[in-house]
A and B are shown apart, each in its own frame.
Chain A
Amino acid sequence: MRRPISTFLLPVLLILGWEVAAHVIANPFVLPSLTTVTPILLHPFSPAYTLGSGSLIDNALASLYRVAIGFLLAALVAIPLGIGMGRSRFMHDLLDSTIELLRPIPPLAWVPLALAWFKIGLVSITFIILIGAFFPILLNTIDGVKSVKKTWVEVAETLGARERDVLLKVVLPGSAPTVWTGLRVGFGIAWMCLVAAEWLPGTTRGLGYLILHAYNFGQTNLIIAGMVVIGVIGILIDQVFRAGEHRWFSWRALER
């Protein structure tokens, strides 16, 4: 996909402005020069640039691992629950008010409880990420299941489909595009929660940890390098989701 030049105009101006501002301010703690950030980014496999806390790649992998676990657990719970709530009036009425009550609570508000319940460590971090990813996946799944046309289900029934066939061959594929959107949004939020979750005490690796660690040493250039890596990984994964959407679910956009 080719993009027009105007797409790149603002980023280039921002980088130039940054460099100029860094020279004017002349305080690397407030705003480090670009030239102190790029060496870190250009050596992603080297632990020498990160104040002894592992290479950028090591930290990124640690973060991805945590997000993957939290995200997958969220999907594993939210998708079946969403299908149940989308299909059954009773389940919807039973659970909806509770979910609406929990949904506006920011994932980070769960941190103290997570620490109390699961102590310091992977379980707490995973829990925070799970909360972040859970609601977008759940709500989109419910919407997706409800958007399955009644005629599609009735056609299946008149063609001899049993309840199980209707679920697997009509409801699942019919709602899949919306569920996929939920997964994409859910992953985005999980990735955002990650950084804060990695600030929990006792964490020794991960991009979030790296940023906090750099802050403690007053190394703003490392903070910015960490932020750039977080942003780039976020974009890449979002692109993967979009590619999947285009590859598998283009029928939704093309269907009148």
Chain B
Amino acid sequence: MTLEIRNLAKEFPVPGQDSIRALSGISLSLAPKEFVSVLGPSGCGKTTLLRIVAGLDGATSGCIELNGEVVDRRSSKMAMIFQEYSLYPWRTVLDNITFGIEMQNVGKRPAREAALTYLHLVGLDDFADRYPYELSGGMRQRVAVARALAIEPEILLMDEPFGALDAQTRNMLQKELLEIWEKTEKTILFVTHSVDEAVFLSDRIVVLTERPGRIREIVDIPLPRPRDRTSPEFARIRRHVLHLISESGQPKEDLRVYPASL
């Protein structure tokens, strides 16, 4: 399934002032099974971009297409994984994973079996009946991944899913995500502010400019996986991307306080 973002723009109205332009002229096409990261300075609108693709926010102009068809609301072909605190604390791990399946009106038993499959995929078989507060941050995000996969989407949207984790856990989850991605053959659109993470994971990195976020450059990463973070090629690409980001600042004529929704 191809995901096509066409000339997307987003403005947030500010009462009594000019509206804030969060995104401008974003066009991007994701091939099936592709892993694409969106990277940019904070406040560049990368999360806004993901939320629009997910159907949580509307675009001011432009559109999202799946296999050539415009989607203007949430599509079951896509699932989103949030940064943190997204699990339902009153549900066990397994019941969290069945949540999306319950929405599809399948029976209790098939829902449970499907959930167990995905629980196994993220390696948490022994934690089915635990509650989220009994899990570490890394385990919680594994559950969130399993819950998203359980509705069998073709595209995963991930909003800084490892941003709140410590470095070690983060590296481990990155590896696991790649394994899952290879096994399940999903298309992934991944938002992060970590250059290292983006270079380690992605086929391509979309570097955005500061607000209003525009595409500054799309960087191809031809390195084979598993990638070695210490290799010279890795370092070269990382340096290039870092350079793009540090240069992405535009004239600072637009230093207003961001609205909370950004």
Q: What are the residues of chain A within 8 A of B99 when measuring CB–CB?
A: 155-156, 159, 169
Smallest distance from the beta carbon of B102 to chain A beta carbons, Å?
Answer: 7
Question: What are 10 of the A-B contact pairs (CB < 8 Å)?
Answer: A155-B80, A155-B88, A158-B54, A158-B74, A159-B151, A165-B103, A173-B90, A176-B90, A255-B89, A256-B133
Q: Is B104 located at the chain interface by the 8 A CB criterion?
A: yes
Q: What are the residues of chain A within 8 A of B138 when measuring CB–CB?
A: none
Q: What are the residues of chain B within 8 A of A159 when measuring CB–CB?
A: 79, 99-100, 103, 147-148, 151
Smallest distance from the beta carbon of B9 to chain A beta carbons, Å?
Answer: 22
Which residue of chain A lies nearest to B80 when distances are taken between CB atoms in the complex? A158
CB-CB contacts of A72-113 with B at 8 A, as 1s and 0s? 000000000000000000000000000000000000000000
Q: Is B262 located at the chain interface by the 8 A CB criterion?
A: no
Q: List the interface of chain A (C-beta within 8 A of B).
A: 149, 151-152, 154-162, 165, 169-170, 173-174, 176, 249, 251-252, 254-256
Q: What are the residues of chain A within 8 A of B157 when measuring CB–CB?
A: 158
Smallest distance from the beta carbon of B218 to chain A beta carbons, Å?
Answer: 26
Q: What are the residues of chain A within 8 A of B80 when measuring CB–CB?
A: 154-155, 158
Which residue of chain B lies nearest to A156 when distances are taken between CB atoms in the complex? B99
Which residue of chain B lies nearest to A249 when distances are taken between CB atoms in the complex? B90
Q: Is B78 located at the chain interface by the 8 A CB criterion?
A: yes
Our pick among B82, B90, B103, B151 for the contact of A151 (Cβ within 8 Å) is B82
Residue pair B56, A157 in contact (C-beta under 8 Å): yes
Which residue of chain B lies nearest to A158 when distances are taken between CB atoms in the complex? B80
Sorted nearest first, the 6 A-B pairs with minimum C-beta distance are A159-B100, A160-B103, A254-B133, A158-B80, A251-B89, A255-B89
Q: List B residues 140-182 near A (Cβ within 8 Å).
A: 147-148, 151, 157
Residue pair B76, A174 in contact (C-beta under 8 Å): no
Our pick among A152, A160, A162, A251 for the contact of B86 (Cβ within 8 Å) is A152
Q: Is B58 located at the chain interface by the 8 A CB criterion?
A: no
CA distance A151 to B132 in the complex (A): 15
Residue pair B74, A255 in contact (C-beta under 8 Å): no
Q: Is B62 located at the chain interface by the 8 A CB criterion?
A: no
Which residue of chain A lies nearest to B103 when distances are taken between CB atoms in the complex? A160
Residue pair A255, B88 in contact (C-beta under 8 Å): no
Q: List the interface of chain B (C-beta within 8 A of A).
A: 54-56, 74, 76, 78-80, 82, 85-86, 88-91, 99-100, 102-104, 131-133, 147-148, 151, 157
Count contacts between A and B, CB distance < 8 Å: 68
Smallest distance from the beta carbon of A156 to chain B beta carbons, Å?
Answer: 7
Which residue of chain A lies nearest to B101 when distances are taken between CB atoms in the complex? A159
Q: Which of B90, B99, B133 has the most CB of A within 10 A?
A: B90
Q: What are the residues of chain A within 8 A of B151 when measuring CB–CB?
A: 159-160
CA distance A151 to B85 in the complex (A): 7
Residue pair A151, B100 in contact (C-beta under 8 Å): no
Smallest distance from the beta carbon of B146 to chain A beta carbons, Å?
Answer: 12
> A155-B82, A251-B131 are known contacts. Are A160 and B88 too (CB-CB below 8 A)?
no
Residue pair A158, B78 in contact (C-beta under 8 Å): yes
Residue pair A151, B86 in contact (C-beta under 8 Å): yes
Q: What are the residues of chain B within 8 A of A254 when measuring CB–CB?
A: 89, 131, 133
Apart from A156-B103, A159-B100: 19 A-B pairs, beta carbons within 8 A: A149-B85, A155-B86, A157-B74, A158-B54, A158-B55, A158-B80, A159-B79, A159-B103, A160-B76, A160-B104, A160-B151, A173-B88, A173-B90, A174-B90, A251-B132, A252-B89, A254-B133, A255-B89, A256-B133
Smallest distance from the beta carbon of A67 to chain B beta carbons, Å?
Answer: 29
Q: What are the residues of chain B within 8 A of A255 when measuring CB–CB?
A: 89, 132-133
CA distance A151 to B86 in the complex (A): 6
Smallest distance from the beta carbon of B71 to chain A beta carbons, Å?
Answer: 13
Q: What are the residues of chain A within 8 A of B85 when measuring CB–CB?
A: 149, 151
